[in-house]
């Protein structure tokens, strides 16, 4: 994971530095057991300072998970102390409502964000039949891609009218902007790992890979 510090958009990609290297923590049952558990929302990650795993920065562990229910993750430092709790409350199975992400960093008020803007959800549902046809065509031809679900998330906290975190489209893919001060980079890196592990329909989650 890479970040730019002290810059305003658009960001200089060459100036970005690596914050952490993320690794899945597989259970004793290996990859198959992990994939089975992740269907219920379970996630388990380690964030390393280098690709050689010389220094552990943080871990992400699952505190509570059940399919279709709110899932709670804890971000811990290398010694196991809690840095933050991230809660994902899924949208209803009938499509009503939006997925809610709550980030409670230790010592801060909770930041709450809803996935996607209402207007773009309305557009997405309007063109859903077309997306189904495109998806079927993509499977047959092996090319092409359908429109992804609305993914932007803006977090607000403490009555602020401006976001304290912003998960939005960047130069290459979605990026997390941190406009408010006081965020622990281990927490924001863990949040990105969690967000990208919940890729949604037509998305590819990084932690589903066999290796």
Tell me the per-residue pLDDT of 31-64, one tens digit each, with 9 for 90 and over. Answer: 999 999 999 999 999 999 999 999 999 999 999 9
Beta-carbon contacts of 64 under 8 Å, excluding residues fewer than 6 positions away, are 70, 71, 72
| Cβ–Cβ under 8 Å, residues 6 and 35 | no
Question: Quick one: CA dihedral 46, 49, 50, 56, positive or negative?
Answer: negative
**pLDDT value at residue 202:** 64
CA distance 194 to 60: 9
Distance between alpha carbon 119 and the CA centroid of its chain, in Å? 22
pTM above 0.75, yes or no: yes
**pLDDT value at residue 204:** 84
**pLDDT value at residue 206:** 94
CA distance 2 to 172: 12
The chain-wide mean pLDDT, for the chain, equals: 84
Q: Is 67 left (phi over 0), alpha (psi -120 to 50) or beta?
A: beta
Tell me the per-residue pLDDT of 197-210, one tens digit each, with 9 for 90 and over. Answer: 998 766 789 999 87
Please say if the pLDDT value at position 115 is more than 90.
no
Please say if the pLDDT value at position 20 is more than 60.
yes
Please say if the pLDDT value at position 157 is more than 90.
yes
Q: Give the tokens for residue 102.
A: 């709550």
**pLDDT value at residue 21:** 96
Report CA dihedral (210, 206, 82, 161) to the nearest 10 degrees: -170
């Amino acid at each position: 994971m890479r970040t730019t510090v002290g810059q305003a958009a658009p960001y200089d990609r060459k100036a970005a530095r690596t914050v952490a290297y993320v690794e899945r923590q597989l259970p004793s049952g290996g990859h198959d057991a992990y994939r089975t558990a992740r269907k219920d929302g379970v996630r388990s990650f380690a964030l390393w300072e280098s690709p050689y795993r010389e220094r552990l920065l943080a871990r992400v562990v699952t505190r509570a998970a059940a399919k279709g229910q709110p899932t709670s993750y804890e971000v811990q430092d290398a010694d196991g102390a809690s840095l933050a709790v991230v809660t994902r409350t899924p949208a209803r199975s009938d499509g009503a409502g939006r997925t809610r992400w709550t980030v409670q960093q230790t010592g801060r008020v909770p930041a709450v964000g809803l996935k996607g803007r209402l207007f773009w959800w309305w557009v997405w549902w309007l063109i859903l039949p077309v997306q189904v046809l495109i998806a079927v065509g993509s499977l047959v031809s092996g090319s092409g891609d359908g429109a992804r679900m609305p993914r932007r998330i803006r977090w607000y906290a403490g009555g602020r009218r401006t976001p304290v975190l912003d998960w939005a489209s960047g130069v290459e893919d979605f990026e997390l902007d941190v406009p408010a001060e006081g965020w622990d980079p281990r927490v924001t890196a863990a949040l990105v790992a969690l967000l990208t592990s919940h890729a949604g329909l037509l998305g590819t989650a990084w932690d589903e890979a066999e290796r």
